[in-house]
Structure 1
Amino acid sequence: MNNRDTSLMTVGDVAAAVGLLTRLPMPVDTDRAMARGARAAWAYPLVGALIGAIMASLAALLLWLSLPAAIVAALILALSVILTGAMHEDGLADAADGLWGGWDKQKRLEIMKDSHIGVYGVVAIGLALLIRWLALAAIAQSGLYWGALIAVGALSRAGMVGVMSGLPHARDTGLSHSVGRPETMTGVVAFGLATIIAVVCFGFGLIFPACMAALFCGLVAKAKIAGQTGDILGATQQVTEMVLLVTVVGLISS
């Protein structure tokens, strides 16, 4: 296969997406994955749903063992970080440092590329983990974790695809640039797939918040660096996930 493969969807895209977004031992045809590039992004919501299902499975086991909801939430949060190799958390920290620590586009991109973490990144990671832990504890206690975690996982990854397709690359190097920019139809498929998963698993309540969270991240990235990077995509996933988890808590508490 070569770069002329312009199929909208292929079965191999799922393996490529799993290999890119997780640390799961998924055999990937590297040549095929590189040839497909960003065209495989339609499958990102499936990866998110898979991660959500794995987290829910662990939650079910731990709750069956009568562990407190707070401990269950901490452990499934740790599992999500392990499954993704903290890729999205790293993006959130770098984006926070760069977008708010630099005074122009070039400086912001330079800070985001730096492997060191600054105060903005530390605060962002700390708050993100705290918010997610508190929300996950409430969701675990409610017993509605299966549908909620799968829906949140799918929608938060669809937000990444939306930002990928909606904004140009902010730099000429990096993970996002190497993957490429998906076509609009790829983004539509990703969003449609995530919407179906979310509606089946949890209903319509998360669709609008997911769109608003991804749109917010895209607008901030456009204003600050006139485009997107891998760090921006990771931050988009994290922000969208936080918004959705809090929304779930609000819905199940009302």
Structure 2
Amino acid sequence: MRETPKQQETPEHEEADPAFPGAALAYDLAGCLRFYSRLPVPRLPGEGDPHAVPDFRTLPRMLPLAGLILGLPGAVTLLGAWGLGLGPFLAATLALTAGILITGALHEDGLADVADGFGGGATPARRLEIMRDSRIGAYGGVALVLSLALRIGALATLLDRVGGLAAIALVLAATLSRSAALAPLALLAPARADGAGAAVGRPGRRTLVTAGALALMLTLLGLAFGLAPLGGALMLAMSVLAAWGVTALARRAIGGQTGDVVGAAQQCAEIAALLALVAAIPA
């Protein structure tokens, strides 16, 4: 049997001498950006094959920082459209469009597949079969519409209430949601032996602790930029709770996790984080 990345003892970039200080962390950050977006990330000095299957035993430790980077284009778009006087609804819509273009709708695709599979399948096997179908059904279409509407509505409301601080909220939501979406990978075994969830491996304890600590630090940074402490705490708590809810649902529906489940967890966590902040800010 051919060895997969999850079966190797140590990631390749940790076996060799580092090409520069912090090289292993830089490689993981670059890997996160390649995996989670369409950004043209160049090969770093001393890095292995940038197109190889990512090793999620260590790579997600830099996911919070990658989430921050991926949230920046949407935040800049939000501020630019707001500054041009386009109004909160159009500004929020354009910001979300920018984010989706950067990620290639990766997480939205996962949400739609999970909604179709969990909603339309009667058995775990049938649900997994539906999730692999590239076509979008009624459940998936409704889930996408609701996801877009809730996020646009939340961002527009935040622009109305706190102005430019909504951009900080957008970046923080992108960071926390991707970090929280590690929950299915950490808590569930792959639902398919031949799926992406099995191929990339599962994050270890040290990776999860590092990712959690980095996410907490970035939340505190958001507070330093003017985000209310209660709002930041609620965003963190609700994003984790939403991802845990998707994880529990996946355990019951398919007995494990897939890449689509991770995408659905990210979407639910991002929605929960933004709605939590809206609830924490008086009208």
For the criterion TM > 0.5, the same-fold answer is yes
**Cα distance per residue 1:224-251 (max 9 Å; x no partner):** 1111000000000000111111111111
| Mapped contact 1:97–1:111 kept (Cα < 8 A) | yes
Higher relative helix content: 1
2: CA distance, partners of 1:77 / 1:58: 9
Count of aligned pairs: 253
The yes-or-no answer on 1:169 pairing with 2:190 is yes
Matches within 5 A, 1:119-198: 119-141=138-160, 142-143=162-163, 144-198=165-219
Residue 56 of structure 1, aligned match among 75, 89, 92:
75
1: CA distance, partners of 2:145 / 2:48: 35
- The residue type equivalent to 1:165 in the other structure is A
Residue 204 of structure 1, aligned match among 233, 245, 248:
233
The yes-or-no answer on 1:246 pairing with 2:264 is no
2: CA distance, partners of 1:59 / 1:181: 35
Alpha-carbon deviation of 1:80?
1.1
* Rg comparison, structure with higher value: 2
| Mapped contact 2:239–2:268 kept (Cα < 8 A) | no
- The residue type equivalent to 1:88 in the other structure is H
The yes-or-no answer on 1:224 pairing with 2:253 is yes
Alpha-carbon deviation of 1:148?
0.8
- The residue type equivalent to 2:258 in the other structure is T
Residue 5 of structure 1, aligned match among 4, 10, 20:
10
- The residue type equivalent to 2:221 in the other structure is V
| Mapped contact 1:45–1:154 kept (Cα < 8 A) | yes
| Mapped contact 2:234–2:273 kept (Cα < 8 A) | no
1: CA distance, partners of 2:219 / 2:235: 7
The CA RMSD measured in Å over matched residues stands at 2.0
Q: Percent identity?
A: 35
The yes-or-no answer on 1:31 pairing with 2:49 is yes
> Structure 1 residues 74 and 205, CA, compared in 2 at 3 Å: closer, same or farther?
same
Residue 102 of structure 1, aligned match among 121, 132, 143:
121
Equivalence for 2:32: 17
1: CA distance, partners of 2:188 / 2:213: 19
| Mapped contact 2:181–2:269 kept (Cα < 8 A) | no
What is the TM-score when the length of structure 1 is the normalising length?
0.93
Q: Which runs of 5+ in 2 are unaligned?
A: 15-21
- The residue type equivalent to 2:253 in the other structure is K
| Mapped contact 1:221–1:232 kept (Cα < 8 A) | yes
Q: Give the SS at the match of 1:31.
A: coil
Pick which of 4-13 and 209-218 moved more: 4-13
**Cα distance per residue 1:11-38 (max 9 Å; x no partner):** 2000000000011111245626747600
Alpha-carbon deviation of 1:175?
2.5
> Structure 1 residues 227 and 76, CA, compared in 2 at 3 Å: closer, same or farther?
same
